[in-house]
Chain A
Amino acid sequence: QKEVEQNSGPLSVPEGAIASLNCTYSDRVSQSFFWYRQYSGKSPELIMSIYSNGDKEDGRFTAQLNKASQYVSLLIRDSQPSDSATYLCAVNIEETSGSRLTFGEGTQLTVNP
Chain B
Amino acid sequence: DTGVSQDPRHKITKRGQNVTFRCDPISEHNRLYWYRQTLGQGPEFLTYFQNEAQLEKSRLLSDRFSAERPKGSFSTLEIQRTEQGDSAMYLCASSNEGGRFFGPGTRLTVL
Which residue of B is nearest A106, CB measured?
B42
Partner of A49, one of B43, B55, B89, B99: B99
Q: Give A34 to B101 CA distance when docked, in angstroms.
A: 11
Interface size of B by Cβ–Cβ distance < 8 Å? 24
Contact B43 A44 (CB under 8 A): yes
Contact A34 B45 (CB under 8 A): no
Q: Is A62 an interface residue when CB atoms closer than 8 A count as contact? A: no
Interface size of A by Cβ–Cβ distance < 8 Å? 24
A101 / chain B contacts, CB cutoff of 8 Å: 33, 45, 100
Interface SS, A side: strand
Contact A99 B31 (CB under 8 A): yes
* Interface of B toward A, CB cutoff 8 Å: 31, 33, 40-45, 48, 50, 55-56, 89, 91, 95, 97-105
A-B CB contact pairs (8 Å), 16 listed: A32-B99, A34-B99, A43-B103, A43-B105, A44-B43, A49-B99, A88-B42, A92-B99, A98-B56, A99-B31, A101-B33, A101-B45, A103-B43, A103-B44, A104-B42, A105-B40
